[in-house]
Chain A
Amino acid sequence: DAGITQSPRHKVTETGTPVTLRCHQTENHRYMYWYRQDPGHGLRLIHYSYGVKDTDKGEVSDGYSVSRSKTEDFLLTLESATSSQTSVYFCAISEVVVGHVLTGELFFGEGSRLTVL
């Protein structure tokens, strides 16, 4: 299994509170991603990072921010959580950009279940 640790694994919070999810990798992969998984939607990309301090938006980035101060850590922050952000959040990593001619494999963590009341 790829060395990816997500924390916390479960969190219940109230609307309007800030929440930070952490992803830590031991693989030294360049790319890191945050996805959310919702029934009927599969996995949708929130933000990704292609290096320290280098990040970009994904398909569903509104209401989320990210930071990557070290190669191994990628943080996802909900500045003011809303009920629509109740979801399971997955961190993923890849050695090269997805879709690359050599390999596009994403390695996923085990997820963080967030409930916003």
Chain B
Amino acid sequence: QQQVKQSPQSLIVQKGGISIINCAYENTAFDYFPWYQQFPGKGPALLIAIRPDVSEKKEGRFTISFNKSAKQFSLHIMDSQPGDSATYFCAASRPDNNDMRFGAGTRLTVKP
């Protein structure tokens, strides 16, 4: 039973477009929601994270939108670039709990 559901499984976007990846969670005890980026042959790396006391967080071209009532959060990549082509994982964890739950991942391809 996956506690964090991610969609779409794959995404193709033109250079300069907006990439949107969505996640939904079930456990209302989750209070930390990171996004990880993974390039082929490498380990995932933290991209951006949010806590439920805010509805949006922006870092450069990357924005997390958070909807607590709907138990959903999404990653928006503005002005997508070919270098953004990677697999993206959303995740969620409870307070001071070491078992972070990951979504299944989205493979993003940005076409030049």
Contacts and interface: CB of A to CB of B under 8 A. Distances in A.
Contacts of A110: 41-43
A2 B36 CA distance: 15
A48 interface: yes
A44 B98 contact: no
Interface of B: 2, 4, 6, 31-32, 34, 36, 41-46, 49, 89, 91, 93-105
Contacts of B42: 110-111
A109 B44 CA distance: 8
B104 A99 contact: no
A116 interface: no
A111 B45 CA distance: 12
Interface string A31-49: 1010000001111110010
A45 B99 contact: yes
A104 B34 contact: yes
Given A41-B104, A42-B6, A99 B46 contact: no
Interface of A: 4, 31, 33, 40-45, 48, 50, 56, 58-59, 90, 92, 97-101, 104-111
B105 A42 contact: yes
Given A42-B105, A104-B49, A104-B93, A99 B43 contact: no
A33 B97 CA distance: 13
Contacts of A104: 32, 34, 49, 93, 100
B100 A42 contact: no
B96 A97 contact: yes
